[in-house]
Amino acid sequence: MRTAAILPVKRFAQAKQRLGASVDDPLRLELARAMVGDVLAALTETASIERTIVVTGEPSVADAARARGAIVIDDTAQSGQSAAVTLGIERALTEGIERALCIPGDCPTLDPVELEALLGPSADGALEVVIVPDRHGTGTNGLLLAPPDTIPPSFGPDSCERHRALALAAGVVCRIERPASLLLDIDTGEDLTALRTRLSTERIRAPRTRAVLDRTAAKGRPAITTPA
């Protein structure tokens, strides 16, 4: 089954605003750039993903994505994650894509091995929605749609249950999966603390994000000031 990944990325100046109380602006921008780089690398290394579609208004992300062979859509409207993913889905359909994996740019530990297991064999023509919740069980960190327009994307607070309800209303098979590397997205100081703990205690990916945090620590700059 032809599969594409859809990666929406905000302009970095607008990204990770909820980290503002916990990290200074230069680090926030560095982290946003590094996390997107780690996610883009993992998607590129996942054999089952035929195309990566990046929807962004951030020029540096567009350049990096094109260098990896991704399709880039200019997100001129900047109307939010759901609208950006919708643009990606529309492009995926024109490319003849049969299944779309919608992934945020702030899950830096994303592991291609886990993505392969998530994508797994799927019968041609099968209708399916797979939801990967965040670590709190309420948001959506991954949305696998077969076909790509099976349900409309509806990200934001409580989106896990909302996506599940949309799938049920559409009469589509829906399941929840929890690959460890996709559960932790970085929105708050508490999330960043959890990421630093994982990086220090587990052998996981995120080389670009790890490098930013290590460099910050080496310079004596506090990566985190207060939990948010």
Higher pLDDT, 103 or 215: 103
Mean pLDDT (whole number) for 121-145: 90
Give residue 29's pLDDT: 87
**Span of 22-31, 58-67, 115-124, 169-178 with lowest mean pLDDT:** 22-31
Mean pLDDT (whole number) for 122-148: 91
- Indicate whether 223 pLDDT > 50: no
Mean pLDDT (whole number) for 184-207: 90
Give residue 97's pLDDT: 97
Question: What percent of the chain shows pLDDT beyond 70?
Answer: 89
Mean pLDDT (whole number) for 32-37: 95
- Indicate whether 62 pLDDT > 60: yes
Give residue 122's pLDDT: 66
- Indicate whether 38 pLDDT > 80: yes
Higher pLDDT, 109 or 25: 109
Q: What is the mean pLDDT of the chain?
A: 90
Give residue 18's pLDDT: 61
Cβ contacts of 55 within 8 Å, gap of 6 or more:
6, 7, 8, 9, 72, 73, 75, 84, 85, 87, 88
Chain Cα centroid distance, residue 223? 22
- Indicate whether 20 pLDDT > 60: no
Question: What percent of the chain shows pLDDT beyond 90?
Answer: 76
- Indicate whether 219 pLDDT > 70: no
Give residue 226's pLDDT: 40
**Within a 10 A sphere around the Cβ of 159, how many other Cβ atoms?**
22
Give the separation between CA 204 and CA 40, rounded to whole angstroms. 16
- Indicate whether 104 pLDDT > 50: yes
- Indicate whether 119 pLDDT > 50: yes
**Within a 10 A sphere around the Cβ of 221, how many other Cβ atoms?**
12
Residues 186, 190, 193, 199, CA torsion sign: negative
Give residue 155's pLDDT: 97
